[in-house]
Amino acid sequence: MVPVTASLEVSGLAFAYPDGHQALFGVDFSIARGERVALLGPNGAGKTTLVLHLNGILGGGTGTVTVAGLPVSKQHMAAIRQKVGIVFQDPDDQLFMPTVREDVAFGPAAAGIRGAALEERVHTALERVGMREFADRPPHHLSFGQRRRVAVATVLAMEPEILVLDEPSSNLDPASRRELADILRSLDVTVLMVTHDLPYALELCPRSLVLSEGVIAADGPTGALLSDEELMRAHRLELPFGFDPRSVTTGA
């Protein structure tokens, strides 16, 4: 058996900001290719700091981050940025071109892809999020849910190894939320989903990590973690009133 390279390995990651605030105290976890994993935790747990280390936006701490076998370091930065696609909470942080097509083409074009190959990237990415017929529309004419799907397409056009989603269900109406869940389930990429929406994590991610006070406090099946009342209380994680995680089949 040839060993399978993990999509993401984080080992001993610790980081303090210049003002002395220590955000991460030694984070360790590994995600296999194709896994969908939720990153849960209260505000201030270090989730954003961790995510910004995955493609080198933040650095200078101790420990290692490895993406598809490549260490996140200056010499590999171009390859890492292609392999780790981050979809931010506000799609307007990612959409700035006159049309949807140009937004989706921006990353691959900057990476040197041209002509028919570029057109194919754009077409495929928009197809995967169900937005192909909107290619010539200005992004600001789209609904919030449609803009979020286009933001996902801009990242998919780079053909990443890992899709990192920051609060993907926030501000979505129930239909848009379900459409996005269907899209995420259909993708053949590794997914790390940062979310406070615990039912959405349970629906989409068979496994969850709980980040609390800068360390991984728990790592296991999402349903089991959400059913552990003591764990939930200890790390300020709250399920919606009346929601029973044992009554839901998780999205394997």
Topology of the domain covering 8-247? Rossmann fold (3.40.50)
How do strand 190-194 and strand 162-166 relate by DSSP bridges?
parallel
Average model confidence (pLDDT) across the chain: 93
State how far the Cα of 93 lies from the Cα of 5, in Å rounded to an integer. 32
pTM: 0.93
DSSP string over 11-27: EEEEEE-TTS-EEEEEE
Average pLDDT over residues 148-172: 96
Q: What mean pLDDT comes out for the span 12-28?
A: 95
Q: What would the mean pLDDT of 188-197 be, rounded to a whole number?
A: 95
pLDDT at residue 31 in the model: 97
Domain chopping of the chain, boundaries:
8-247
- pLDDT value of position 252: 47
The b/e string for 103-134 (b: 16+ C-beta within 10 A; e otherwise) is bbbbbbeeeebeeeebeebbeebbebbbbbeb
Render pLDDT for 93-128 as a digit per residue (tens, 0 to 9).
Answer: 999 999 999 999 999 999 999 999 999 999 999 999
Ranking 2-11, 102-111, 130-139, 162-171 by mean pLDDT, the lowest is 2-11
pLDDT at 4: 64
- Whether residue 81 contacts residue 64, with contact meaning beta carbons closer than 8 Å, is answered with no
pLDDT at 60: 84
* Mean pLDDT, range 7-34, rounded to an integer: 95
Would you say residue 3 has pLDDT above 90? no
pLDDT for the residue 249: 65
